[in-house]
Amino acid sequence: MNKQHQVVLSLGSNQGNRLENIERCIMSIHREIGTVIKVSRLFETPAWGFESEPFYNCAVVVHTHKSAHQVLDEVLLLEEALGRIRSDVEGYQARIIDIDVISFDEEIIASEKLKVPHPEMQNRLFVLVPMRDLNLDWRHPILQKYLHELLLLSEDKSNIKVIQSLENPITKIPLNNFNYIAIEGNIGAGKTTLSNKLAEDFNAKMVLERFADNPFLPKFYEDQSRYAFPLEMSFLADRYQRISDDLAQFDLFKDFVVADYHIFKSLIFAKVTLAEDEFRLYKTMFDIIYKEMPKPDLYIYLYQNTERLLQNIKLRGRSYEQEIPAEYLEKINSGYLDYIKSQKDLNVLIIDVSDKDFVENQSDYIFILDEIQKKIQS
């Protein structure tokens, strides 16, 4: 799936309890619009372009799959929900909350509703200083200048004062306490999608199953009895090699490893697809390998009901998957649940995502993060 967009939002308030307004806004963005990855310190800045009380300002980095215009629409709704009242009076005004879309990746957008990068950002220290505080490797795509260069060139000489640090909601979930997290689930459950999101949001090294490179997979769906054994053996070898290599190679720039599979899935699928004599031989090989494999510190199983799995499989459009019967998916699910019940020393979290869409709905993704947080704290 496509990587998430990196969006920078500028937040400001100069009415009411300014700190509380900013903190509520950050949490609302995180729970409703996109995942807040970074939060700058809080700065106090004079009102810009009009006489009024000084502002509290900060900047946040948000990850999202939404388009820039979707983000803008949701930002405007959030401003209204937080109490902002827009006036027809021309010019700048005091406001309980103000949210501006400053950048969207390094894209240039010039529509009637939205201009990105924000056309005035280089002229406003209350935008540049908090944005620099985020330590981004971002270059203005029109001016071709980095933030430190924009600050040097800015003619705004406003007096800006640091007030305090602000809490980043994502830091409440200490996934970096783990070395290795496995995301598991049935075909079409969303395990790769969730693995990608967690890796991007929490700075993890990602290990993905290379199903697309397996030449036996399309053949298996055409003739299961003939190709089941070579398929399962090739998957086992590849899973073993990938996990072993990636866990052995320490990455200085990543905090932990997240994989969209655990090697035990090999035995689960093999039990469903192989004949009895083939399975006995396969299990002998598997038991030798499994003893050498590191166990995940957290094993997350995404449960989806069969109807939803079939819908997801149809939507992602892999031709060789389109004829998978419901009975096959139910057997796989039963195999996973039997395995989970048998594991006494595995740190397991089962999340029912049958009615969730954690790509399109930020609240559904937050539901998953909340479940992980509860598991960590339990």
Active-site amino acid positions: 260
DSSP 146: B
Backbone angles phi, psi at 78, to 5 degrees: -65, -40
Q: What is the DSSP string of 218-271?
A: HHHHH-HHHHHHHHHHHHHHHHHHHHHHHHHS--TT-S-EEES--TTHHHHHHH
DSSP H helices, 13-124, are 18-32, 68-81
| DSSP assignment letter at 323 | T
DSSP letter at 139?
B
Q: Check if the beta carbon of residue 229 is closer than 8 Å to that of residue 269.
A: no
What distance in Å separates the CA atoms of residue 281 and residue 96, rounded to the nearest whole number? 69
- Going across the sheet that includes 205-207, the strands are 205-207, 257-259, 180-185, 298-303, 348-352
195 within 8 A of 206, measured Cβ to Cβ:
yes
Kindly provide the b/e burial profile for residues 191-206, where b requires at least 16 CB atoms within 10 angstroms of the residue's own CB: bbbbbbbbbbbbebbb
> Which pair of tokens denotes residue 14?
């100069």
* Spatial CB neighbours of 304, under 8 Å, sequence gap ≥ 6: 185, 186, 188, 189, 190, 312, 353, 354
Measure the CA–CA gap between 283 and 243, rounded to whole angstroms.
19
Whether 12 and 121 have beta carbons less than 8 Å apart is answered as no
